[in-house]
Amino acid sequence: SYELTQPPSVSVSPGQTATITCSGDRLGDRYACWYQQRPGQSPVLLIYQDTHRPSGIPERFSGSNSGNTATLTISGTQAMDEAEYYCQAWDSSTEVFGGGTKLTVL
């Protein structure tokens, strides 16, 4: 079965750029999306179709996908961005989540 791999944790200083990666075999050949989940809350869609932001998502969130890696970039990271982040992609009509990355804003 298809697998997506994320680093368990990423740390960033306020105002700096955070990069969270998601790796999978030929991931760039399929679309990826990203979710943010704060403690005790439901996930929120941040990025769909590799690079698109839903209405209401701040411009500091951006995405890319090429080769075997999709990347979520948070520019000018804020304390409120401290959360768990999940990537997702589709494989043979089933959906796969990455294992999640805990973003800590130090």
Partner 1 sequence: QVTLKESGPALVKPTQTLTLTCAFSGFSLSTPTMRVSWIRQPPGKALEWLARIDWDDDKFYSPSLQTRLTVSKDTSRNHVVLTMTNMDPVDTATYYCARTYNYGSGSYASDYWGQGTLVTVSS
Find the binder of partner 1 among 7, 21, 28, 43 (CB under 8 A). Answer: 43
Of residues 7, 21, 31, 62, which one binds partner 1 by CB under 8 A?
A: 31
Closest separation in Å from C-beta 5 to partner 1:
12
Q: Is 80 helix (H, G, I), strand (E, B) or coil?
A: helix
Residue 31 burial (CB count, 10 A)? 16
3-state class of 51 per DSSP?
Answer: coil
With CB under 8 A as the contact rule, which of the stretches 14-22, 69-77, 91-99 interacts with partner 1?
91-99
Residue 66 interacts with partner 1 (CB under 8 A): yes or no? no
Nearer to partner 1, 9 or 16 (CB): 9
Distance between terminal CA atoms of the chain?
Answer: 36
